[in-house]
Amino acid sequence: MKFAIVFGGISFEHEISIVSAITLKKVLGGENPLFIFFDFDKDFYLIPEDKMNINFFSSKEYKKEKKLSLNSGFFETKVIFGKEKFSNLKVINLVHGGTGEDGVLFSLLELYDFNVISPRREASVISLNKELTKLYANSIGVETLDYEVLSRKGERILKKLSFPVIIKPLTLGSSLGVSIVEKESELEYALDTAFQYDDMAIAEPFIEGVEEYNIAGTYTTRLVVSNIEKPVKDRILDFDGKYLDFSRSETVQNADIDKNLRKDLIAKFTAIYSDLFHGSVIRCDFFVIDGKVYLNEINSVPGSLSSYLFPDFAEILKSIEIPYKHEIPKSYQYIHQIKKMKGKEL
């Protein structure tokens, strides 16, 4: 089975997805995957590996490449004497943000019977919306920070939280639209910034110098968890910082932390992953405050799939278990029974 990496997408994080795909090309090495670019016109293009660079996409040179269409379990493209088919694929959803992390791309690929490494619909909805993420985490015993949700058309005041706070778009995965607000007079501008990307924003306490830890994982024959990273950052990891973070290809070593904290982080990640994220590689970012672990966010399609956190990522990708899809019987037995009962009425 061959890997096919779908990247790009209709998303504010379109460019980050391109960087992720270029990074994954280095990581997968000799696996010779297909690179399938999903552009803003909703077209799919087969990109030669030697053309996987930033300028190729920004110049729109990719439009000269083979355009792909979807069929049942395979992509195909027109050639001189008919069509070329690309089948027996394990498709990797590498589209960050909208289209990729909202369940749309997965649903399209599932409809066409592809084996897909991706969060499923329910997992996508829960992880993309930061309020739903908190509700899910709290329901399984994983603590999160207090928060308030504000809407574009609603009141622009905080009723529970005290300053300083951090303002984020409610359903955006990157650091776009994120602001630290030190006092009330700065809130309006921060919300205007967030509302450029979403109609809803979330406010959380901003804690200076908070410890943060990242851990990724997936399911093969068992749950496989990555090395635990303690990222080095300024007050917040801004968009440029995340851009550079996504482009890493070398493996990050395990953070030097207390064994009890390590055990707690892994336990909370395990609870979050459960059956919900089966079939995907996710990364969870945690805060540690006064010795207590809090979930910050779930990255359901993390940059370069967090390959830099795993010692042997290519082998792990090969082993990921794709959830079983229940076949729907095509017998029409019920309609025949109804026909017998209703007779000529049908």
Helices 130-139, 121-128: crossing angle, 10 deg rounding = 110
The band of 72, judged by pLDDT with boundaries at 50, 70 and 90, is: very high
pLDDT (0 to 100) of residue 324:
81
Can you give the three-state secondary structure of the chain, one letter per residue? CEEEEEEECCCCCHHHHHHHHHHHHHHHHHHCCEEEEECCCCCEEEECHHHCCHHHHHCCHHHHCEEEEEECCEEEEEECCEEEEECCEEEEECCCCCCCCCCHHHHHHHHCCCEEECCCHHHHHHHHCHHHHHHHHHHCCCCECCCEEEECCCCCCCCCCCCCEEEEECCCCCCCCCEEECCHHHHHHHHHHHCCCCCEEEEEECCCCCEEEEEEEEECCCEEECCCECCCCCCCCCHHHHHHHHCCCCCCCCCCCCHHHHHHHHHHHHHHHCCCCCCCCEEEEEEEECCEEEEEEEECCCHHHHHHHCCCHHHHHHHCCCCCCCCCCCCCHHHHHHHHHHHHHC
What's the rounded mean pLDDT across residues 75-104?
Answer: 94
Confidence check: pLDDT of 233 > 90: no
pLDDT (0 to 100) of residue 66:
96
Least confident of 115-119, 160-164, 243-247: 243-247
**In terms of Cα–Cα distance, which of 78, 80, 125, 132 is closest to 98?**
125
Confidence check: pLDDT of 104 > 90: yes
Confidence check: pLDDT of 289 > 90: yes
pLDDT (0 to 100) of residue 298:
97
pLDDT (0 to 100) of residue 47:
98
What is the C-alpha to C-alpha distance for residues 51 and 32, in angstroms, rounded to an integer?
14
**In terms of Cα–Cα distance, which of 281, 257, 259, 279 is closest to 269?**
281
Domains and CATH numbers, the chain: 2-117 (3.40.50.20), 124-141+209-319 (3.30.470.20), 148-205 (3.30.1490.20)
89, amino acid identity: L
- Two tokens at 203? 């406010």
pLDDT (0 to 100) of residue 144:
98
Strand-pair category, 89-93 with 2-8 = parallel
pLDDT (0 to 100) of residue 87:
95
Q: How far apart are the first and last CA of the chain?
A: 47
pLDDT (0 to 100) of residue 343:
66
Confidence check: pLDDT of 240 > 80: no
Least confident of 173-182, 195-204, 283-292: 173-182
What's the rounded mean pLDDT across residues 167-172?
Answer: 94
Confidence check: pLDDT of 248 > 80: no
Confidence check: pLDDT of 294 > 70: yes
pLDDT (0 to 100) of residue 31:
86
pLDDT (0 to 100) of residue 149:
98
